[in-house]
Amino acid sequence: MHASFPNNVSSTICKKTRNPSFCFNVLKSAGTTDLKGLATFTLNLAHNKVTKTRALAQSLASKAADCKLKEDYATCAKHYDNAAADIKDAKYNLEKGDYNGVNIQASGAMTEVGDCLDNFTQPPKNPSVLSNNEKVVEDMCSIILVISNLLQGRS
């Protein structure tokens, strides 16, 4: 698998993700074909995105004039804080070889970012880029889920 992996990224990992073209673009810049290395690379990207989105949510909360919007952004910041902790735990699990733990933590991070956007189902609408960031984090976590399943011997 490792020798032919670069030509088969989409068939081995990306076709099983939520967004195969996003997956391919992420993994082609990883600089490795090792599954554990790809997981580490993607977890680091996801952690960076979550951290930046948390800071954005905090900034939006501090600037929002509408009380409900301020509260929704503050809640999002908490969800993204939890997602960052989940990703940190996933990295720890990966180092320990607990691939099921990686899977569980990546799923938890996806849930947290989804819960952030659930706050905006009622007016006022979210006028920020938080929803785009949520999709990026979920797509990254989708890659991590597939890789953790492969590391566990599941396909």
pLDDT in tens, 35-84: 999 999 999 999 999 999 999 999 999 999 989 889 999 999 999 999 99
pLDDT category of residue 93 using cuts at 50, 70 and 90? very high
For position 11, what pLDDT does the model report? 63
Identify the burial level of 106 via C-beta atoms within 10 angstroms of its C-beta, where 0-12 means exposed, 13-18 middle and 19 or more buried: buried
User: Helix 20-27 vs helix 130-151: angle between axes, to the nearest 10 degrees?
Assistant: 70
For position 8, what pLDDT does the model report? 72
- The whole-angstrom separation of Cα 14 and Cα 20 is 5
CB 112 within 8 A of CB 140: no
Class of the CATH domain delimited by 36-151? mainly alpha
pLDDT in tens, 105-139: 999 999 999 999 888 777 777 767 788 888 999 99
What radius of gyration, in Å, describes the C-alpha atoms of the chain? Answer: 16
* DSSP calls for the chain: -TTTGGGGHHHHTGGGSS-HHHHHHHHTTS----HHHHHHHHHHHHHHHHHHHHHHHHHHHHH-SSHHHHHHHHHHHHHHHHHHHHHHHHHHHHHHT-HHHHHHHHHHHHHHHHHHHHGGGSSSP--SSHHHHHHHHHHHHHHHHHHHHHHTT--
